[in-house]
């Protein structure tokens, strides 16, 4: 039909349809911010409402979210009250506060538009940075990626304080402070951040103790002063005394590695750990994250003789099931070489099923429990509902899945060399 004929059917005679669109600015969220030390929020304190669909399984990076048009931000008054405009009725929010020298300790979830009873609590921030050095002459010669059997640890025996880090329930450190608890130097350069439920000029003492490979043990106690900015954090330089005659390197080659199965494991975490055993309960170890053809080179190993053991599952508090027979090596001034013959590894196909009406989360965290051990081995953070955990030593395991919906553990699964076993978990 020619377009000239359209008028014959009344097409051009139809009046335009009128549609009314109502633009609504949203509704308010109101509440107050309280400081656990009894003071009123300082000038510059802000309330922040984040739509819950923007949050991830880990605590949110608030500084990165503040630029989103969906996030609501408002100044907190001198009396501690706040008024957030633009909340949508169809959206649930989490409400936090950001303030210089404070950290959010208690926040409100599932807040809806027109809610006027929101309470957010802030705790004063305390901190200190501790640097370990080689006798005060520079960075330790042991590799930062090499961990001793008595790796550095810390404790603060005060029931009124809680450590602040990204994996805690306290959420991020806000404002102009970093959102993690370790400086770039790793175990040799560490930033300790705590919050307190009571007012004080300083808390502590913090006890920091342990040893680095090739150095004498250390143990230091220091108070943690109140801080506002990263530049205000006091620094303690802690020189260590060397025990080793020197530090060398080791090249580890893997023979008969099932590379096709290891690739899946590498996407979710380390492939395993190489442990260098020098005596009863004395060892150092490093993570294996790839299998280069030329071998894996680890530097900064103290001189000495070692039994070399490899395992594909790791746990700092228990010797893992061995995935390969041991070899022996001497570390000296020249690069040492050893070959670890891997037998065929095991794998598990893990399937997550969600009952009708439940929406799968954006991400889940999988912990692995070996039979006879209540402490989990490494966990895998994955965004799929079906994936393969590869590179497992033959053993009996249970798999625990944690998500914003719930936590569920599988039945025992026996892992043997060959095709992947199967584990199925259902969230109801």
pLDDT level of residue 173 (50, 70, 90 thresholds): very low
Looking at per-residue pLDDT, the higher value among 305 and 382 belongs to 305
User: What does the pLDDT average to over 142-168?
Assistant: 77
217-262 per-position pLDDT tens digit: 999 999 999 988 766 789 999 999 999 999 999 999 877 665 544 4
Question: How high is the pLDDT of residue 112?
Answer: 93
Residue 5 lies in a domain: no
Mean pLDDT of the chain: 75
DSSP 17: P
Residue 394 lies in a domain: yes
User: What does the pLDDT average to over 368-391?
Assistant: 64
Cβ neighbours of residue 218 closer than 8 Å, sequence gap 6 or more: 132, 208, 209, 210, 211, 238, 240
40-56 per-position pLDDT tens digit: 888 889 898 988 877 65
Percent of the chain scored above 70 by pLDDT? Answer: 65
- CA gap 363, 208 in Å, rounded: 34
- Of 306, 341, 376, the residue that ends a domain is 341
- Where b means 16+ CB within 10 Å and e means fewer, 37-55 reads beeebeeebbbbbbbeeeb
> Coil, strand or helix: which one is 281?
coil
Residue 230 lies in a domain: yes
54-83 per-position pLDDT tens digit: 765 445 555 566 677 888 999 999 899 999
CATH label of the domain that carries residue 63 = 2.60.40.1120
Instruction: Return the top range by mean pLDDT from 39-53, 202-216, 343-357.
Output: 202-216
Determine if the peptide bond prior to 205 is cis (ω within 30°): yes
pLDDT level of residue 99 (50, 70, 90 thresholds): confident
Closest CA to 230 of 161, 154, 132, 129: 129
Question: How high is the pLDDT of residue 13?
Answer: 52
The verdict on 312 and 365 lying in the same domain is no
298-348 per-position pLDDT tens digit: 999 999 999 988 876 544 334 445 555 678 899 999 999 998 876 556 667
The verdict on 326 and 257 lying in the same domain is yes
Residue 20 lies in a domain: no
Would the pLDDT of 166 be above 80?
no
Task: Please tell me the total count of domains within the chain.
Answer: 4
The verdict on 253 and 231 lying in the same domain is no
The verdict on 367 and 273 lying in the same domain is no
Residue 1 lies in a domain: no
Question: How high is the pLDDT of residue 6?
Answer: 44
The verdict on 58 and 166 lying in the same domain is no
Question: How high is the pLDDT of residue 240?
Answer: 94
- CA gap 370, 359 in Å, rounded: 30
pLDDT level of residue 11 (50, 70, 90 thresholds): very low
Q: Got the DSSP string for 322-376?
A: PSS--EEEEE-SSPEEEEEEPPPPEEEEEEEEE-TTPPPPS-EEEEEEETT--S-
Question: How high is the pLDDT of residue 15?
Answer: 55
User: What does the pLDDT average to over 171-182?
Assistant: 40
Question: How high is the pLDDT of residue 344?
Answer: 56
Residue 4 lies in a domain: no
The verdict on 137 and 228 lying in the same domain is yes
The verdict on 352 and 335 lying in the same domain is no
What domain range includes position 207? 124-240
The verdict on 229 and 284 lying in the same domain is no
The 3-state secondary structure of the chain, one letter per residue: CCHHHHHHHCHHHCCCCCCCCCCCCCEEEEEEEEECCCCCCCCCCEEEEEEHHHCCCCCCCHHHHCCCCCCEEEECCCCCEEEEEEECCCCCEEEEEECCCEEEEECEEEECCCCCCEEEEEEEEEEEEEEEEECCCCCCCCCCCCEECCCCEEECCCCCEEECCCCCCCCCCCCCCCCCCCCCCHHHEEEEEEEECCCCCEEEEEEEEECCCCECCEEEEEEEEECCCHHHCCEEEEEECECCCCEEEEEEEEECCCHHHHHHHHCCCCCEEEEEEEECCEEEEEEECCCCCCCEEEEEEECEEEEEEEECCCCCCCCCCCCCCCEEEEECCCCEEEEEECCCCEEEEEEEEECCCCCCCCCEEEEEEECCCCCCCCEEEECCCEEEEEEECCEEEEEEEECCCCEEECCCEEECCCCCEEEEEEEC
The verdict on 230 and 274 lying in the same domain is no
Question: How high is the pLDDT of residue 263?
Answer: 43
The verdict on 118 and 129 lying in the same domain is no
Question: How high is the pLDDT of residue 213?
Answer: 92
The verdict on 166 and 108 lying in the same domain is no
The verdict on 279 and 330 lying in the same domain is yes
């Amino acid at each position: 039909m020619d377009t000239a004929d359209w008028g014959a059917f009344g097409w051009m005679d139809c009046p335009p349809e009128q549609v009314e669109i109502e633009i609504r600015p949203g509704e308010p969220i109101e509440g107050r911010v309280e400081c656990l030390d009894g003071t009123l929020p300082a000038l510059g304190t802000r309330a922040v409402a984040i739509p819950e669909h923007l949050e991830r399984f880990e605590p949110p990076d608030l500084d990165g979210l503040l630029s989103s048009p969906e996030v609501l931000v408002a100044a907190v008054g001198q009396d501690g009250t706040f008024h957030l405009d633009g909340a949508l009725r169809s959206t649930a929010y989490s409400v936090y506060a950001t303030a210089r020298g404070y950290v959010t300790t208690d926040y409100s979830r599932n807040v809806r538009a027109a809610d006027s009873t929101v309470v957010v609590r802030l705790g004063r921030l305390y901190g200190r940075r501790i640097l370990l050095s080689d006798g005060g002459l520079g960075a330790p010669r042991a590799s930062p990626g090499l961990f001793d059997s008595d790796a550095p640890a810390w404790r603060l025996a005060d029931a009124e304080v809680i450590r602040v880090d990204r994996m805690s329930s306290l959420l991020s450190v806000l404002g102009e402070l970093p959102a993690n608890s370790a400086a770039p130097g790793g175990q040799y350069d560490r930033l300790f951040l705590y919050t307190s439920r009571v007012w004080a000029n300083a808390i502590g003492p913090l006890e920091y103790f342990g040893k680095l490979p090739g150095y004498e043990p250390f143990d230091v106690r220091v108070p943690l002063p109140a801080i506002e900015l990263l530049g205000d954090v006091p620094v303690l330089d802690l020189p260590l005394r060397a025990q080793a005659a020197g530090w060398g390197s080791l090249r580890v080659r893997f023979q008969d590695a099932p590379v096709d199965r290891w690739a899946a494991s590498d996407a979710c975490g380390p492939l395993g750990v190489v442990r260098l055993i020098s005596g009863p309960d004395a060892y150092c170890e490093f993570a294996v994250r790839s299998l280069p053809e030329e071998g894996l080179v680890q530097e900064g190993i103290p001189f000495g003789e070692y039994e070399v053991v490899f395992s594909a599952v790791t746990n700092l508090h228990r010797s893992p099931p061995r995935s390969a027979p041991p070899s022996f090596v001497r570390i000296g001034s020249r690069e040492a070489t050893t070959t670890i013959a891997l037998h065929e590894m095991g794998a598990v196909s893990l399937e997550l099923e969600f009952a009708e009406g439940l929406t799968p989360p954006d991400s889940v965290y999988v912990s692995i429990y070996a039979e006879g051990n209540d402490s989990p081995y490494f966990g895998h953070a994955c965004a799929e509902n079906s994936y393969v955990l590869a590179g497992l030593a033959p053993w009996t395991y249970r798999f625990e899945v944690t998500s914003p919906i719930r936590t569920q553990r599988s039945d025992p699964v026996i892992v043997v060399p060959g095709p992947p076993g199967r584990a199925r978990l259902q969230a109801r």
